[in-house]
């Protein structure tokens, strides 16, 4: 895949394109992109994905804090794996936001990127105030010499998979369902920073993770089985993760993300880790003493080992 910006000009051949923020590049997005690739191939055109570096609402509303399923870098890597020919990454600006759907189709899609076929997601709207709908896009396309095609939705268990559905799953702790929607486990990356050192005394020294992107969604608090990928290492480790306020240890309201790597020894401070969420084991709870907590941690470790045998 070749990545383009507005200043790069159009591909060498006419293109079939779709537009989206593509947060998470979930199975619904993947299904849409496959339709674009097939549409392009049948017409002798290049396939083009048009997306944005920042969430449009961040530009329109300065105080908006999105809960992203993927960072921009993660999104680009996922899009590159779809098989599309090109990806145009646009900086969403107030000037871009002011364009009507017809202006966007004419000035950006047709004139900048040579789009001759536009594949519209089943529920997607674009342009200023999103007042236009599919019938309008078809009419604008006729005027501009652009064929407009409506994509089929991707349904799983009667539910049309979307970024909001995945987000809701993660906020409920349903990480296994989120993985089904994404086509892979949900991942959270960050750097290991100084922690509380309480885990050492319990026999479970943990790595305290600082997420690399404050806009990346952190799943519901609780205890999880995760796979831990260390930067620079090929093998992944099974991990026991706690997201929460550590009530037994009187941590107050400070939320921490702490992971214990099974069968690992070494110094992780400053290392970059990626957590792949496999299963939520339980809610975080307050124990009467550290002894009860240690007993629960041993039970959690056994549960993680059993789970990882099937992953």
The verdict on 304 and 201 lying in the same domain is yes
The verdict on 194 and 116 lying in the same domain is no
What are the structure tokens assigned to 85, written together?
Answer: 């020919």
Determine what percent of the chain is predicted with pLDDT higher than 70.
94
Helix ranges (DSSP H) in the chain:
27-43, 56-60, 72-80, 94-97, 101-103, 111-113, 134-144, 163-171, 175-182, 198-202, 290-308
CATH number, domain with residue 242: 2.40.30.30
Residue burial 273-302, b: 16+ Cβ < 10 Å; e: rest: bbbbbbbbbeeeeeeeeeeebeeebeebbe
182 vs 56, which has greater pLDDT? 182
pLDDT digits (tens, 9 = 90+) for 215-268: 999 999 999 999 999 988 888 999 999 999 876 666 656 789 999 999 998 889
Tell me which of 127-131, 292-296, 298-302 is least confident.
127-131
pLDDT of residue 200: 58
Does one domain contain both 156 and 189? no
Residue 177 domain-assigned?
no
Rounded Cα distance, 212 and 273, in Å: 10
| Residue 281 predicted with pLDDT over 60 | yes
Q: 2-42, pLDDT tens digit by residue?
A: 999 888 867 778 999 999 999 999 999 999 999 999 999 99
Q: Which of 195, 14, 37, 229 is nearest to 109 (CA)?
A: 14
pLDDT of 89 > 70? The answer is yes
The average pLDDT across 76-97 equals 94
Neighbours of 46 (CB within 10 A): 24
Residue 64's pLDDT is what?
A: 82
Q: What is the mean pLDDT of residues 264-290?
A: 91
- State the residue range of the domain holding 208: 185-308
63 lies in some domain:
yes
Concatenating the DSSP letter of every residue in 113-133 gives H-EEEEEEPTT---SGGG---
CA nearest neighbour of 285 among 270, 271, 295, 273 = 295
Asked if residue 145 is part of any domain, the answer here is yes
State both tokens at 243: 């997201």
Q: Are residues 46 and 192 in the same domain?
A: no
On whether both 141 and 191 belong to a single domain, the answer is: no
Instruction: Report yes or no on 37 lying in a domain.
Output: yes
- Mean pLDDT of the 193-211 span: 78
- Going by C-alpha positions, the residue among 134, 135, 76, 126 that lies closest to residue 104 is 126
Taken in order 261, 265, 268, 274, is the CA torsion positive or negative?
negative
The answer to whether residue 28 is domain-embedded is yes
**Measured distance CA(262)–CA(239) in Å, rounded:** 6
Give me the pLDDT at residue 125, please. Answer: 87
pLDDT, residue 131, reads 79
Partners of 193 in beta bridges: 208
- pLDDT of residue 201 exceeding 80, the answer is no
Are the C-beta atoms of residues 279 and 307 closer than 8 Å to each other?
Answer: yes
Q: 216: closest CA among 72, 76, 78?
A: 72
Instruction: Give me the pLDDT at residue 252, please.
Output: 59
Q: Which of 256, 243, 81, 234 is nearest to 175 (CA)?
A: 243
| Residues across the chain | 311
The verdict on 123 and 18 lying in the same domain is yes
Give the separation between CA 164 and CA 137, rounded to whole angstroms: 24
Q: What is the pLDDT of residue 20?
A: 94
Say how many domains are in the chain.
2
Q: What is the mean pLDDT of the chain?
A: 91
Residue ending a domain, among 126, 160, 194, is 160
Average pLDDT score over residue span 58-84:
91
Cα–Cα distance measured from residue 153 to residue 161, given in angstroms and rounded to the nearest whole number: 8
Are 198 and 144 found together in one domain? Answer: no
Establish if 273 belongs to a structural domain.
yes
Q: Which of 114-118, 211-215, 251-255 has the lowest mean pLDDT?
A: 251-255
- pLDDT value at residue 255: 83
Do both 20 and 149 map to the same domain?
Answer: yes
Q: How far apart are the first and last CA of the chain?
A: 31
Tokens 């896009």, residue located: 137
Provide, rounded to the nearest whole percent, the portion of the chain with pLDDT above 90: 69
State the pLDDT at residue 259: 96
pLDDT tier for residue 301 given thresholds of 50, 70 and 90: very high
């Amino acid at each position: 895949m070749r990545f383009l910006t507005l200043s790069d000009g159009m591909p060498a051949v006419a293109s079939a394109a779709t537009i989206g923020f593509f947060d998470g590049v979930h199975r619904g997005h993947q299904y849409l992109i496959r339709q674009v690739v097939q549409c392009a191939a049948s017409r002798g055109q290049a396939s083009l994905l048009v997306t944005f570096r920042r969430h449009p609402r961040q530009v329109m509303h300065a105080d908006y804090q999105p809960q992203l399923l993927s960072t921009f870098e993660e999104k680009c890597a996922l899009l590159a794996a779809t098989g599309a020919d090109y990806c145009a990454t646009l900086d969403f600006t107030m000037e871009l936001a002011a364009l009507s759907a017809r202006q966007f189709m004419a000035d950006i899609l047709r004139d900048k990127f040579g789009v001759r076929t536009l594949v519209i997601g089943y529920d997607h709207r674009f342009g200023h105030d999103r007042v236009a709908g599919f019938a309008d896009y078809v009419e604008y396309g006729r005027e501009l010499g652009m064929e407009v095609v409506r994509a089929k939705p991707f349904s799983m268990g009667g539910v049309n998979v979307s970024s909001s559905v995945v987000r809701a799953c993660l906020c409920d702790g349903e990480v296994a369902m989120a993985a089904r929607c994404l086509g892979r486990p949900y991942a959270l990356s960050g750097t290991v920073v100084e922690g509380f050192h309480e885990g050492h005394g319990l026999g479970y020294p943990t790595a305290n993770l600082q997420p690399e992107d404050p806009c990346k969604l952190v799943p519901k608090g609780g205890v999880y089985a995760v796979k831990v990928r260390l930067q620079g290492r090929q093998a992944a480790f099974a991990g026991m993760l706690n997201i929460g306020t550590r009530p037994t240890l009187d941590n107050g309201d400070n939320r921490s993300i702490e992971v214990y790597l099974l069968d690992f020894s070494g110094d992780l401070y400053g290392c970059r880790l990626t957590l792949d969420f496999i299963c939520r084991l339980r809610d975080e709870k307050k124990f009467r003493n550290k002894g009860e907590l240690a007993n629960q941690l041993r039970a959690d470790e056994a549960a993680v080992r059993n789970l990882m045998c099937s992953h």
